[in-house]
Each structure stands twice: as C-alpha cells, then as structure tokens.
C-alpha cells in the first residue's frame, strides 16, 4: 500500500506569506493520481487540487500543486486569513487511496 | 448546486449495527463517472474512505471494514445508505458522505469532489 507522509506537521506563517507543503509517497504515484484537500476548523474537507495540479471548481489561483513520482507539493502563493487550516494529500493510484496525516497552517 | 447531507444515530453500542443515510441533490448517481460514498475521520487518525457505490452499480469497500459494510442506493429518493455491522469503539469518528466524479472507468481511482457536512458517531456502551 502507498503511504503518504506530509511535512511539516505544522507551518507557522503570517498572512501574505508563501506556504509550501510537502507530501511524500512510499512508492511512485502516477502524476495524475494525487489530490489535496483543505479542512477549516469545524468544517468538512474541501477538494482543492486533483490530478496533481488541476484546481477544483472555484479554487483561487493562489493555490497550486506540483510534483511527480514520490514528491508532491501544494503551494499557497500569498496566505489569506481564510487559508489557515489543515491540508491533506490523498493518492488515488492504489486501490485504497490513502490520505496523509495532514499539515496544519497556523497564524504566526 | 450539489449538496450531500448525512443522517443517522450519534451513539451506538459496541456490537450494534450502524445505519447512515446520505441524501443528495444537484446530480444524478447514475450519471457516468459518478460515485457516492463515505469517508471517516477518527480522532488522531488519517481520513479513510470506507465505501463507494458507482453509477454502474459497482461498489468498493475499504479492506479495513472487511465484510462488515454494505452500501445500498435508492435512485428515486436520491439516497445512499451505509450499513456497518458489529460496531467497535475504534469506529468512532465523523462520517462524511462524498461525491466521486472520476469513476467512469473499470479501474476505480476515486478522489472526492464534494463532501457533506459530516455526522459524528460515537461507539460506546
């Protein structure tokens, strides 16, 4: 099974700064089969990125995804107040489609 | 507008059966590529998808549920029902109904395009 490790566990940044979140897979993942989700406190997760770099409907272009093989990145170019949340990656290359443990982006 | 709403008991006892209903709107569960399923978020654990039923009547279950889970679909009511037998305290968590839109092919590789608000379930005597 492909296991995902997200780093860092917590990222402390200020509004306006750039956030770079990492998701590393234990085995190679087809570049089409990696998604990112955002979960704000008290809310359900929301799809941000699918197929590594495609933004879901309504997602601002400050969110971008990249990567291939075993290393994937979610970048938030300039943090807005509503972006402070937990972010999860998910691979859907293998049948179990497992999620990472999450990275919390908190206000510094 | 796509919506998914979960309903069911908040508390079940160990060994009992859990039945959760997802009522959805804004799409058809028989449209090619569509799947409706469930993802669980347990305290201190990663998100985990549990089960999905697809437009072509194929269904998929997480190995972690083994043979305890069953999905049924009522297209006229626009509902999907998840039944999990022999509940255990480790099954405690928030259960989300989710929409899959990339299930058109025989090999299912789902990501979750839309989520319901979630319903908390506690398993305790």
pLDDT 10s digits, A54-90? 999 999 999 999 999 999 999 999 999 999 999 999 9
State whether A99 and B47 contact (CB < 8 Å). Answer: yes
User: Is residue A31's pLDDT more than 70?
Assistant: no
CB pairs A-B closer than 8 Å: 51
The confidence score (pLDDT) of residue A30 equals: 78
Judging contacts by C-beta atoms under 8 Å, the chain B residues touching residue A96 are 62-63
Residues in chain A: 108
CA distance A49 to chain B (A): 10
Query: Per-residue pLDDT averaged across B29-58, rounded?
Result: 94
CA distance A11 to chain B (A): 18
Give the pLDDT band of residue A94 (cuts 50, 70, 90).
confident
CA A30 to chain centre: 16
Query: Closest chain B residue to A37 measured between Cα atoms?
Result: B112
State whether B47 and A90 contact (CB < 8 Å). Answer: yes
Query: Closest chain B residue to A45 measured between Cα atoms?
Result: B115
> Any long-range contacts for B108-111 (C-beta under 8 Å, 24+ apart)?
B108/A95, B108/B35, B108/B52, B108/B54, B108/B58, B108/B60, B109/A33, B109/A92, B109/A93, B109/A97, B110/A92, B110/A97, B110/B35, B110/B37, B110/B49, B110/B52, B110/B60, B111/A35, B111/A47, B111/A50, B111/A90, B111/A92, B111/A97
d(CA B3, CA B24): 6
Question: CB–CB of A90/B47 below 8 Å?
Answer: yes
Which of B26, B49, B51, B109 is the best residue to mutate to test the A interface, defined by the most A CB atoms within 10 Å of its own CB?
A: B109
Alpha helices in A1-108 (DSSP H): none
Give the pLDDT band of residue A97 (cuts 50, 70, 90).
confident
Q: Percent of chain B scored above 70 by pLDDT?
A: 100
The confidence score (pLDDT) of residue B89 equals: 96
> Mean pLDDT in chain A?
95
State the greatest distance between any 2 C-alpha atoms of chain B, in Å, as a whole number.
Answer: 43
CA distance A2 to chain B (A): 13
Burial group, residue A50, by CB count within 10 angstroms (0-12, 13-18, 19+)? buried
Q: Percent of chain A scored above 70 by pLDDT?
A: 99
Query: Closest chain B residue to A29 measured between Cα atoms?
Result: B109
pLDDT 10s digits, B72-114? 999 999 999 999 999 999 999 999 999 999 888 888 889 999 9
State whether A92 and B116 contact (CB < 8 Å). Answer: no
d(CA A63, CA A79): 9
CA B63 to chain centre: 14
The one-character DSSP state at A99 is B
Q: DSSP states of B20-64 as a string?
A: EEEEEESS-TTSTT-EEEEEEE-TTS--EEEEEEETTS-EEE-GG
State whether A56 and B113 contact (CB < 8 Å). Answer: yes
Q: Using alpha carbons only, give the angle A103, B4, B74 rounded to the nearest 5 degrees.
A: 135
Question: CB–CB of B7/B21 below 8 Å?
Answer: yes
CA A76 to chain centre: 10
Give the pLDDT band of residue B66 (cuts 50, 70, 90).
confident
Query: Per-residue pLDDT averaged across B33-51, rounded?
Result: 94
């Amino acid at each position: 099974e492909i296991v995902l490790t997200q780093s860092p566990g917590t990222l402390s940044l200020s509004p306006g700064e750039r956030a770079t979140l990492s998701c590393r897979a234990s085995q190679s993942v087809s570049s089409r089969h990696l998604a990112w989700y955002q979960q704000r406190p008290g809310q359900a997760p929301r799809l941000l990125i699918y197929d590594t770099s495609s933004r879901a409907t309504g997602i601002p272009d400050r969110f971008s995804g990249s990567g291939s093989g075993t290393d994937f990145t979610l970048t938030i170019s300039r943090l807005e107040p509503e972006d402070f949340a937990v972010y999860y990656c998910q691979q859907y290359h293998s049948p179990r489609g497992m999620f990472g443990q999450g990275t919390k982006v908190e206000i510094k | 507008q796509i919506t998914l709403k979960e309903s069911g008991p908040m508390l079940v006892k160990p060994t009992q059966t859990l039945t959760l209903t997802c009522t959805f709107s804004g799409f058809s569960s028989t449209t090619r590529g569509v799947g409706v399923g469930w993802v669980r978020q347990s305290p201190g654990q990663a998100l985990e998808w549990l089960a999905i039923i697809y437009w072509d009547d194929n269904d998929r279950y997480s190995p972690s549920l083994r043979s305890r889970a069953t999905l049924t679909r009522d297209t006229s009511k626009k509902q999907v029902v998840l039944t999990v037998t022999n509940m255990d305290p480790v099954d405690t968590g928030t259960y989300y109904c989710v929409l899959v839109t990339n299930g058109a092919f025989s090999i299912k590789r789902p990501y979750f395009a839309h989520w319901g608000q979630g319903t908390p379930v506690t398993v305790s005597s």
